[in-house]
Structure 1
Amino acid sequence: AAQAGDRIPLETERGYHLEFQTDAPLLNRPVCPVDLGFYLTPMAGRLRVAGTVELGGLVAPPNPRRLALLDRGARQIFPRLGSPASQWLGFRPSLPDSRPVIGASRGSSRVIHAFGHGHLGLTLAPITARLVADLIGGRGDPARLAPFAAGRFGR
């Protein structure tokens, strides 16, 4: 964005997950125990426990309390889980107003931005792809994308 002339206050949203090996599926679909604030997702031979949002930047070390929170919550539902087989910390590009940047750059109409979806990147990927394809194909309405414009952050 900066190379195209857009100054965007991009921040790093960090997310954590643990994976547990399972002999048999514990669930047949993703589940979100709302009161615990994370997701349980069955995968081939394992159970993924993911959640939490942390604005910790790129260089701060992982926060073991976040992983412990996921571990405790998973054990409330499945008390016999073994030790986690793996743990992960990932970075997600986010913006202060929680909206992605989608649309043409202010510096060049040949540059189309589509980033900053935070922890909803994969969820919003299909609609974002459609919006970008419509813009490139001349079918999109840039006015409808004004709430997502790079210019909302000023110069």
Structure 2
Amino acid sequence: MSDRLTPGDTAPDFTLADDRGGEVTLSSLRGRKVIVYFYPAAMTPGCTKQACDFSDSLESLRKDGYEVLGISPDKPEKLAKFRERDALTLTLLSDPDKDVLRAWGAYGEKKLYGKTVEGVIRSTVVLDEEGTVSHAWYNVKATGHVAKLRRDLGLD
């Protein structure tokens, strides 16, 4: 299992394909606070709920100085369908090799229906303007997570 990030860590940089045919490099967002959340699979019920919650909160999060990036192992084409189907406004990134997921501690052993499996660990990491981890949550719940995140960041 990958080491999990903790406050004070420097976030590993990455460049990933997005859902619109471009690429996003994390270090290009220096100067902004960034919320990076990892989810198992586009268009599944929990992941849809979480993505819609982030999308619905995106404008207010941006007003508070945050950018939001969602990362899953899905291919960009599937992410584009996800964005279109659910009218998502946030940036979705594709990590099919799971290199970023592993580097950020969001891939490894987890419990699923009482069994231990290897997969994406639903996680959220918040970075400050310099790319340093300010908050990191692992094994988060899809439902209600954005509201909890806002409370924990003092945004409500």
Q: Structure 1-normalised TM-score? A: 0.26
- Give 1 or 2 for the bigger CA radius of gyration: 1
Q: Structure 2-normalised TM-score? A: 0.26
Quick one: higher RCO (CA 8 Å, sep 6+), 1 or 2? Answer: 2
